[in-house]
């Protein structure tokens, strides 16, 4: 979908499952291929992963991309 250039809003999580690549791999793909996504929302509860993705996107973002971090909801037990 990212290759098509038709993604206007992307929601990213860092941890995608055991044995799966992280959301940072998607970030690297976006940056390496200069893909323009109008709005990127990072919703990961992984603090270090969230920061790593945000910092990379912010530093190398394509003009016109809006990057936000959604607050992580607190769990109730």
Instruction: List pLDDT tens digits, range 22-45.
Output: 999 999 999 999 888 889 999 998
Instruction: Say if residues 43 and 72 touch (Cβ distance below 8 Å).
Output: yes
Look at residue 36 in the predicted model and tell me its pLDDT.
86
Whether 9 has a pLDDT exceeding 80, the answer reads yes
Mean per-residue pLDDT for 39-55? 93
Percent composition of the chain: helix, strand, coil (DSSP 3-state, to 5): 35, 15, 50
Give the residue, 64 or 42, on which the prediction is more confident.
Answer: 42
Count of Cβ atoms closer than 10 Å to residue 31 Cβ: 15
Give the pLDDT band of residue 4 (cuts 50, 70, 90). Answer: confident
């Amino acid at each position: 979908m990212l290759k098509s250039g038709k993604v206007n809003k992307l929601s990213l999580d860092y941890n995608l499952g055991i044995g799966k690549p992280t959301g940072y791999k998607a970030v690297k793909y976006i940056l390496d291929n200069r893909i323009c996504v109008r709005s990127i929302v990072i919703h990961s509860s992984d603090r270090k992963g969230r920061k790593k993705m945000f910092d990379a996107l912010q530093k190398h973002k394509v003009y016109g991309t809006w990057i936000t971090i959604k607050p992580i909801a607190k769990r109730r037990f």
